[in-house]
Structure 1
């Protein structure tokens, strides 16, 4: 109905504005001092809202969801979108290239503000941080720098911390989902989505 289209239209504008804001935040923080809070803010606006929250809201509004249900969708979609990107950050450095279809280490070579890098930086000592400065942002055609940084992150247990962040957000999303008055089929599908986007290998 036209009324539902009218409710959905502002969401498209919000989606576009927030995506642009996320891209700008990433540019501002690229090659800057790694900071977990800043990285999570980039994730929220660049990926989580664009990939999960707003598509879910737009679909819900077009199907006639009321404001309370849309609030529930937000509570489910935002943490799930963040978990999706956190998994992507891990795959971008530790995934198998033949499976992911993209070169490992692009985030490292680009010195992008990922939460994985920020957590490694937070956990590192002075000497480790100095070595990270030397490795980040360089071309590294033979991949040795990426390999060294990957091993350093493993020693610091930064991937474990990001895994914990993913679990926290999936749990938050599922708790919000279980509180929603959804048909069984919709609840099952959204539960499966939460697991598929965060336990993927590509």
Structure 2
């Protein structure tokens, strides 16, 4: 179905993009039949789906291939359905964090807020934007399930895949709640940060997509442990890299303003390590600025310097290296089909050695 390109993500991307485009085109017609007023809803949803690294479909696909599944057309819509779940999570996450942008474009709730303002409608533009985004996220969640069920894979395989599929949805929502909870608690615990990463990112981004692929291929019980050893370690490393980019990344690459995670007051592992390692006065200064939406570039630079100077950045980089080593060791298992082993090794690099 696809030629062999430069990376295991690229191998999957074209087919996944095609499946998403075909599915959304059918659903666009359905929404517009309900009413032309739904056109901005579809446009916002399509804008969210147009971006993204397609990592979750890639891990699902290579989890399937690692379990002995073949390169058949039906696996692509099943894997692509995870992009709708990802869109749901990101849309709702931006509402929770009150983020202005996503991938260099206005966040979904901001798009709909601007529509309200341009149209001169009554009531709160912000409230309309947030409410609309919640509904669009819910629509993505429903369509994720619909796309998975309609993939064309045998019903027995789809039933087997439901266990990790359903567990993944529960875990990511629970992880999001824990993330919110640690924010309001003002948590400074390394352990709490790791727990949030485990459920909000690691399991959802890598481990569960691999499990779904294995289950669809009929080898979930046999491969679950191997894929967990690989996926949880790599998933935490992936999220750690994401958190470091949220503070030290180039806005041209990340699509978000520099230091945006500091303005939002995200209780990441980098923050926990900084507050644990910094001298008392420096920690107090960092704590005082964390979560200030009006942080200046100069203050962001100062907070970066504090995180670097106390060794927190280096500690996070060491953790990434350690998790990468764990994931690499897991690939030595003879249970993984040889045709997928090198792709899963390449995905370690794709998930951790990145600029956005």
Taking structure 1 as the reference length, the TM-score comes to 0.95
Count of paired positions: 202
Distance (whole Å) between structure 2 residues aligned to residue 185 and residue 26 of structure 1: 37
2:240 aligned partner: 86
Q: Could you tell me how far 1:66 is from its partner in structure 2?
A: 4.2
* Residues 1:148 and 2:302 are matched in the alignment: yes
Distance (whole Å) between structure 1 residues aligned to residue 230 and residue 171 of structure 2: 18
Given that 1:69 and 1:180 are in contact with CA atoms closer than 8 Å, whether structure 2 keeps it comes out as no
Q: Could you tell me how far 1:140 is from its partner in structure 2?
A: 2.6
TM-superposition CA deviations, 1:110-136 (whole Å, max 9, x none): 111100111111101211111112211
RCO greater where, 1 or 2, for CA within 8 Å and sep 6 or more? 1
1:16 aligned partner: 169
Q: Could you tell me how far 1:141 is from its partner in structure 2?
A: 4.9
Distance (whole Å) between structure 1 residues aligned to residue 220 and residue 177 of structure 2: 32
Q: Could you tell me how far 1:192 is from its partner in structure 2?
A: 0.4
* Residues 1:43 and 2:189 are matched in the alignment: no
Given that 1:140 and 1:146 are in contact with CA atoms closer than 8 Å, whether structure 2 keeps it comes out as no
Given that 2:275 and 2:287 are in contact with CA atoms closer than 8 Å, whether structure 1 keeps it comes out as no
Q: After the TM superposition, which residues 86-125 of structure 1 pair with which residues of structure 2 at under 5 Å, given as runs?
A: 86-125=240-279
Stretches of structure 2 that go unaligned for 5 or more consecutive residues are 1-153
Distance (whole Å) between structure 1 residues aligned to residue 287 and residue 295 of structure 2: 17
Q: From 159, 164, 168, give the equivalent of 1:6.
A: 159
Distance (whole Å) between structure 2 residues aligned to residue 183 and residue 140 of structure 1: 51
Given that 2:164 and 2:212 are in contact with CA atoms closer than 8 Å, whether structure 1 keeps it comes out as yes
Distance 1:138 1:93, change over 3 A: same
2:3 aligned partner: none
Distance (whole Å) between structure 1 residues aligned to residue 348 and residue 278 of structure 2: 31
Decide which structure has the larger Cα Rg and report it. 2
* Residues 1:182 and 2:182 are matched in the alignment: no
Given that 1:84 and 1:198 are in contact with CA atoms closer than 8 Å, whether structure 2 keeps it comes out as yes
TM-superposition CA deviations, 1:4-53 (whole Å, max 9, x none): 22111122221111111101111111150311110010001001111111
SS at match of 2:331: helix
Give the stretch that moved more between structures: 51-60 or 96-105: 96-105
Stretches of structure 1 that go unaligned for 5 or more consecutive residues are none
